[in-house]
Amino acid sequence: MRGSGRDERNKVIETTGKSVEKALDKALKQLDARVENVEIEILDAGQKGVLSIFGARDARIRVTKKTDSKGIEEIADEVARYIMECLDISYRLFSENDDDATYINIETAGVDGLLIGRKGDTLNSLQHLVGRIVSRKMGGYQRLTLDVGGYLKNRQEILRQKAVKAAERARKSNREVQMEPMKASERRIVHVALTDEEGISTYTTGNGDMRKVCIAPAGKGRERRGGGRPRNRD
């Protein structure tokens, strides 16, 4: 079989190339993995042929992406616990995992604010750090949410409620409504919350830390070229 095949469930793919090395490069890009995180089976070493043209045959390999013997939830727990112990903070940790992402919530003895930081900046940095470590151990990107005292869940619900109310104001006044400046992850929550709001479009305006979501009634904001339903954009 020529070309490439993929088995997403088992993280196994077959690729071809002018050489085994080129086939491997292709496989690593498709799997988003490093060579130390895969197992390689050479199915056909290929053949250069006369003058590299006549009788040439591509190499074909099967590459399996290795995952840590521990699950993502267990690894994420270990990383989060290690960070808390390094900070010498008393804590309780709760985690849950579904098909799409892992959620970890840390509860502390009165120092949640220290881990959350101003507008969640410290928590955002901690989540980035834990996510990078977990993804590296798992051999590829993993969706992970690190929360402290339920801050992110509460913040998401507040943003959804604010978005719906702002959309209602925009609809009644037939004018755009601007929300307060937000980080990208929070703007995304607003866009998603209003995806199914009929006659409402959302878009982002501003620069840097002052980027904010604008909520506009149909025909008043930036709409999709060529007509059709207003589009959410960031």
Q: Is the pLDDT of residue 49 over 70?
A: no
Question: Which amino acid is residue 167, in one-letter code?
Answer: A
Q: Is the pLDDT of residue 20 over 70?
A: yes
- Most confident range (mean pLDDT) of 38-52, 54-68, 119-133 is 119-133
pLDDT band for position 226 (cuts 50, 70, 90): very low
Q: Round the average pLDDT of the chain to a whole number and report it.
A: 82
Q: Tally the residues of the chain.
A: 234
Dihedral sign computed on CA atoms, order 220, 224, 230, 234: negative
The Cα 101–Cα 144 span in angstroms is 6
Residue 216, strand partner residues: 201
User: What is the reported pLDDT for 15?
Assistant: 93
The domain made up of 72-149 has a fold known as: GMP Synthetase; Chain A, domain 3 (3.30.300)
Q: Is the pLDDT of residue 149 over 90?
A: yes
The domain made up of 154-217 has a fold known as: Ribosomal Protein S8; Chain: A, domain 1 (3.30.1370)
Give the residue, 122 or 74, on which the prediction is more confident: 122
Nearest to 33, CA basis, from 174, 126, 138? 138
- Mean pLDDT is lowest, of 15-19, 46-50, 108-112, 185-189, for 46-50
Give mean pLDDT, residues 16-45.
Answer: 87
User: What is the reported pLDDT for 50?
Assistant: 56
pLDDT in tens, 65-113: 876 556 777 888 888 888 888 888 888 888 887 767 788 999 998 889 9
Q: Which residue has the tokens 């709001």?
A: 197
For 188, the enclosing helix (H) or strand (E) is helix 184-193
Give the residue, 2 or 165, on which the prediction is more confident: 165
pLDDT in tens, 153-205: 999 999 999 999 999 999 999 999 999 999 888 999 999 999 988 899 999 99
Give mean pLDDT, residues 119-140.
Answer: 87
Dihedral sign computed on CA atoms, order 6, 11, 12, 18: positive
Residue 118 tokens, joined? 């101003």
